Amino acid sequence: MAEKKDAAQKTAARKTAGRSVKRAPKAKEIQIDYPREGDVIPSGGHYAVRIASKPHELVEITFDNKKWYPCREAVGYYWFDWHPTKVAKVTLVARARNGQRTTQRSAPIKIQVAS
């Protein structure tokens, strides 16, 4: 009887072994490091948005899915010098491009610009 129980446990373990292994999510090719989700940024000043990305010909950022702005590369990151003037909730998205082809977009980051 104990042998049957052991065999059943081994069979069950084999069936679930493949499903119980959690795989790490695929690393994003591009992501906005700063600001972070939910951050409050003061209006009327300067804020340097930092974007981590593999090397690309062009990295751009958009605010509320409007115009795309090119970012500069320095010290291993891409940067956008932002001067927010309006108090508002803003969604930032970055994208990496090689020529005319967009390779990947970052996850959207929602922040608040406050006075």
What does the pLDDT average to over 29-37? 93
The fraction of the chain above a pLDDT of 90, given in percent, is 56
Whether the per-residue pLDDT at 48 is higher than 90: the answer is: yes
**Chain segment 59-108, per-residue pLDDT in tens:** 999 999 999 999 999 999 999 999 999 999 999 999 998 877 777 899 99
Cα 107 to Cα 88: distance, rounded to the nearest angstrom = 20
Cα 52 to Cα 104: distance, rounded to the nearest angstrom = 12
The fraction of the chain above a pLDDT of 70, given in percent, is 76
Cα 25 to Cα 64: distance, rounded to the nearest angstrom = 26
Between the two ends of the chain, the Cα-to-Cα distance in Å is 74
| Contact predicate 20/14, CB 8 Å | no
Cα 106 to Cα 24: distance, rounded to the nearest angstrom = 18
Instruction: Return the H-helix or E-strand segment holding 48.
Output: strand 47-53
Q: What integer pLDDT is reported at residue 88 of this predicted model?
A: 93
Q: What integer pLDDT is reported at residue 101 of this predicted model?
A: 75
What secondary structure does DSSP assign to 19-43, as a single string?
A: HHPPPPPPPPSEEEEESPTT-EEET
Place 22 in a pLDDT band, splitting at 50, 70 and 90. very low
The two tokens of residue 26 are: 């695929």
Place 21 in a pLDDT band, splitting at 50, 70 and 90. very low
Delimit the domains of the chain by residue range: 30-114
CATH entry, 30-114, from 2.60.40.10, 3.40.50.300, 3.40.1370.10, 1.10.10.10: 2.60.40.10
